[in-house]
Chains A and B, each alone.
Chain A
Amino acid sequence: MSTPATNTEASETHGHGDISTGVAGGDSNASATRITPGNALRPEDIALEVRTGLAKPSGDVAEYALRLGDDALILAQRLGHWISRAPELEEDVALGNIALDQLGHARSFLTYAGGALGENGTPQSEDDLAYFRREHEFRSAHLFEQPNGDFAATIARQFVVSYYQFELYRRLTGSTDATLAAIAAKAVKEVDYHRDHSAQWVLRLAGGTDESRKRMIHGLKLMWPYVGELFEDDALVTRLAEAGAAVVPSSIREDFDRLTGEVFAEAELEVPDVPSAPGGGRQGKHSEHLGYILAEMQVLAREHPGANW
């Protein structure tokens, strides 16, 4: 992929094979800690399978992967905006890490979806899907495009997202679609940490000063109208779930409510009592926010098609 952000992600996953020295090698000039690429499913592996025809999603599966991929992509773009702006340097890196995790999931899902979306048998690449689709072609839910707001609002969004994604990916590891199951298996461990991160901050902000508690309550109130859309079923997911490939969103609501409820109880917060927003993201209907996100995200790739740097 050709953006600076994704180059970082790529070099993290496979660029350090030659510098895995460190203390074990006994080299006194080496870094105190060893860097290794580790073994995990990479978007490049999925791209290879899609190109060679080893992994071929059905139209339905591709649409489903597009939904999950767009959720992660839009959130990654939102979180990336915090870089250099977080309240502390350490938190800057934490949010950046979460953004990169989400970008990794987006790349995997979009690459896989592209396998069924191309013309004349050529799959569409992750770049085609990320940079050259228009607003109404995006399938992300409205929660993901909500503005960052202050730190508490971002934490509130992250809290909902991570508890939702954890329950979703945990179940999706049992999907009959091997690629979806594999992406979910990698993602679920990362999202587990995102849960820990956001729950920690909800507790800290709610139990901190009057100001931080007020902001936390306000942030949750801003995000809660968009919770309902995450758990809405439609014909596509029902069809896929019958075949064992997808997770019915409504089936994870109970666990979501229970687990977020535990954090709310510990933080002595109440579940916000706010009406639901209309939603429609899965059908390509978005709020005014998405257009601005896409303008910023897509401008370079559209201005200089095929650019590499």
Chain B
Amino acid sequence: MIINHPLLGPRDSEEFVYLGSADLIKRPNNWEEDASAEDFYQYQYIRENIAGDHRELWYHEQGDQSWLVVTRNTLSHEILNVELAQDVSREIGRGK
């Protein structure tokens, strides 16, 4: 699979480490919000496991060490969109 890195252009997916669903960005926190043990359980263990377009986190370990949010079809492996995870985080009001 070739991942079109927003800054570095097309890169082989072998340069990356896969983490999982991009929902992992939305970690509950209990210092600003009242996150319950149940919220953490859902976050840590329960997955949408989508058959279709899946937003997921890839880490460019053997490149620029950036985290990317890749939208990839889990039935065809086609990569539809690549964003910097930093930008995605900011859009949902997380990160700086």
Does B bind A?
no
Interface of A toward B, CB cutoff 8 Å: none
